[in-house]
Amino acid sequence: MDELDREPGRLDTDEVNVRALNPKDLDWVVSIDAQHSGRQRNEYFKLKLQEAEESTGVRISLAAELDGEACGFLIARLYYGEFGLPEPVAILDSIGVSRASSGKHVGHALLRQLVMNLRALGIETIQTQVEWTQLELLRFFQHSGFSLAPRLCLELKVH
């Protein structure tokens, strides 16, 4: 991420307030997600926010606000040696930015804060999955420095 390596001064993400995500954020998280997915995933996000609140005391799921209004979220978790990986890794489960805040560096502010938090914890890798057809999200991750991982995600349909 270029922004992390810049000299001190003004950053594009300075207007975005990033804080820890909490269960009280459920309604607007569901609303932002629905803008992109077309579905109301209340139970899914209720469980994710509860997990984020209860997990190990390490708060890496984040909320973003612009001018005091909720405008984005990021849900992540830490794994220590799962899937045969020898080192700890952060998994980015979900990220969303309201359509009204698109282009205002909200996603980059969330990811920037996540990277800073993970560096402080000694975590060196973030992984995520994206549907092949989500071109806007793929571009965001590519612009943010993500690249293809050296493993494949496999699936078996069990009708």
More confident call, 11 vs 113: 113
Say what the pLDDT of residue 71 is.
96
How large a percentage of the chain has pLDDT more than 90? 60
pLDDT attached to residue 157: 94
Which structural domains are found in the chain, ordered by start?
A: 2-143 (3.40.630.30)
Whose tokens are 């803008």? That residue is 35
Summarize pLDDT for 38-66 with one digit per residue, the tens.
999 999 999 988 887 776 556 689 999 99
Among residues 69, 56, 120, the alpha carbon closest in space to that of 98 is found at 69
The 10s digit of each residue's pLDDT in 139-152 is 999 999 999 988 88
Query: Per-residue DSSP letters for 141-152?
Result: HHHTT----SS-
Strand (E) positions, the chain? Answer: 17-20, 62-66, 69-80, 88-97, 126-128
Contacts of 65 (CB under 8 A, 6+ apart): 16, 17, 18, 19, 71
Q: What pLDDT does residue 155 have?
A: 87
Q: Look at residue 37 and tell me whether its pLDDT is greater than 70.
A: yes
CB-based contact 26:46 (threshold 8 Å): yes
Average pLDDT, the chain: 87
Reported residue count of the chain is 159
